[in-house]
Amino acid sequence: MGTLIERLLATHEVQRLRRVKQLGLASFVYPGAEHTRFAHAIGAAHVMTRLLARLRERQSGLPRDVQLDDEAVMDAVAAALLHDLGHGPFSHLYEDALPGSRPHEDWTHDAILDDGTEVHAALESIGSGMSARVAGMLAGRHRLGYLPSLVSGPFDVDRADYLLRDSHATGVRYGLYDLDWLLASFRLAERGDDWVVAIEGRKGLPPIESFFLARYAMYQQVYHHKATRAGEALIRALFVRLGELLRDGTAVPGVPVALARAAVSEQPRLSDFFAMDDASLLAGMDEWSRSPDVTLSALATQVRERRLPKTIPLPEDEPELWPLAFERAADVARRAGLRRELSVWLDVAYDVAYEEPTDASTAGLFVARKHRPLSRLGDVSFLLAQLRNKRLVRPRLIFDARIADAVHPAIDEVLS
């Protein structure tokens, strides 16, 4: 296992994650949120090794084709370490703010399978076909059908690490839960013709409930914080203006090659994408803040100096009012001589606190109890039954601070 981790950590693609922030612009609100995807990747791999060790302790007596072997363990740890490989600058912000950009999962998949990358070579040096197995696991496929859900599922090593890590870095306590006790409660259980990872008995209910409540609180208080979302709106406007200039043939210095291609709706090359990180984008913003284009310069300066737009929360239970409020603010912007797409945004952040498939044939999280049939977690936990598949929405109007005095009375008319 040590050889696998050492070889993967030495690759260009994994080392690049040192220069990609885990929480994007969250440091606008929480100054300690400067941790990276690299640290998170190592943490996810560590949680995976602990979880697999627990499952191996409890697999005596299980059918041989279900048991974890050394190859499957290596595949799962590698998948955990590499699961975020394809994140762009500022993590999720890059793909959310740039229209038409590829999901980070696609870039991860390509990097693992492309024979020109160092990470592909490292995987194949461990064993022929390992890169295909790891890519398959990240896409939800493996000969041990229960393994992919440990990388991406209702409970997975990704979430297990980032809740604790993000809570620590931001200085909040919302993301805390008992990881040790939770890991100790897992085992494999038979479900029809399949085997699933299940929570053992009722002792596992308090930590798994705490896990989902922690995730819910972190989305409400940290990940969807109004200042973070306002900063992301600024980046979105910056990318819009950058694309306009590039499509018009205007020379803009400091634009990473991959961003230049993506901004004009062209597909970046894999090597160009992995040459881009937070540092290259920040260096570009420094150049753009001195651009002769007044709009680009203003947007870049606002991001660099944290001059954020203003926000107004909208009623969660009256979605019919959201577009009305947006149009009122957009009209104020137009009358002030501002472009609506660069100065007013309707931001609807949402999350599902506990997602459980409604199709009984689809895997989810299960609870194994003595003398009782295997049950879905939402059918055993009263708390999670209340949160099950509930879409929690946090709508906001975001707008340029220069029109705040005019927007507030205009919006009050709609909301009242």
**DSSP codes of every residue in 366-389:** EEE-TTS--EEHHHH-HHHHHHBT
| pLDDT higher than threshold 90 for residue 362 | no
The predicted model gives 168-189 an average pLDDT of: 96
Distance separating alpha carbons of residues 199 and 182, to the nearest angstrom? 8
How far apart are alpha carbons 381 and 358 in whole angstroms? 16
- Indicate where the chain has its CATH 3.30.1370 domain(s): 309-353+391-416
Report residue 343 as tokens.
């100065």
Say if residue 390's pLDDT is above 90: yes
Cβ burial, residue 168 (10 Å; 0-12/13-18/19+): middle
Helix, strand, coil distribution of the chain in percent, nearest 5 = 55, 10, 35
pLDDT band at 193 (very low <50, low <70, confident <90, very high): confident
E-only strand ranges, 260-407: 310-313, 344-352, 366-368, 375-376, 391-399
Cα 189 to Cα 12, 354, 363: the distances in Å are: 39, 21, 12
Q: How confident is the model at residue 96 (pLDDT cuts 50, 70, 90)?
A: confident
Measured CA distances, 206 to 182, 302, 348, 376 (Å) = 9, 45, 31, 15
Q: Give the pLDDT score at 94.
A: 87
Q: Where are the alpha helices (DSSP H) in 65-204?
A: 70-82, 92-97, 104-113, 118-126, 130-138, 148-151, 157-170, 179-184
DSSP state for residue 342 in the 8-state scheme: G
CATH architecture of 225-308: Up-down Bundle (1.20)
d(CA 304, CA 296) in angstroms, rounded, equals: 12
Third-level CATH fold of 2-220+366-389: Hypothetical protein af1432 (1.10.3210)
- Considering only the top CATH level, what class is 309-353+391-416? alpha beta
User: Is residue 171 left, alpha or beta, with left meaning phi > 0 and alpha meaning psi from -120 to 50?
Assistant: left
Region(s) of the chain under CATH 1.10.3210.10: 2-220+366-389
Q: Determine the pLDDT at residue 181.
A: 96
Hey, what are 353's tokens? 């606190």
CATH 1.20.1250.30 in the chain: give the residue spans.
Answer: 225-308
Residue 46 scores a pLDDT above 70: yes
381 or 92, greater pLDDT: 381
| pLDDT confidence band for 361 (50 / 70 / 90) | low
Decide the pairing of beta strands 366-368 and 194-200. Answer: parallel
Q: Quick one: CA dihedral 291, 295, 296, 300, positive or negative?
A: positive
Secondary structure (3-state) at 359: coil
The model's pLDDT over 103-148, given as tens digits with 9 standing for 90+, comes to 999 999 999 999 999 999 999 999 999 999 999 999 999 999 999 9
By mean pLDDT, which of 116-125, 205-214, 263-272 is the weakest? 263-272
Strands in 310-313's sheet, in edge-to-edge order, are 310-313, 391-399, 344-352
Distances (CA, A) of 386 to 212, 312, 356: 12, 28, 12
- CA gap 259, 280 in Å, rounded: 10
> How would you class 355 by CB atoms within 10 Å of its CB: exposed for 0-12, middle for 13-18, buried for 19 or more?
middle
The letter for the amino acid at 320 is E
Q: How confident is the model at residue 78 (pLDDT cuts 50, 70, 90)?
A: very high
| pLDDT at 314 (0 to 100) | 97
Closest CA to 36 of 54, 16, 13, 20: 20
CA–CA distances in Å: residue 196 to residues 146, 147, 192: 5, 9, 10
Torsion of the alpha carbons at 248, 249, 254 and 260, rounded to the nearest 10:
70
Token duo for residue 18: 């040192």
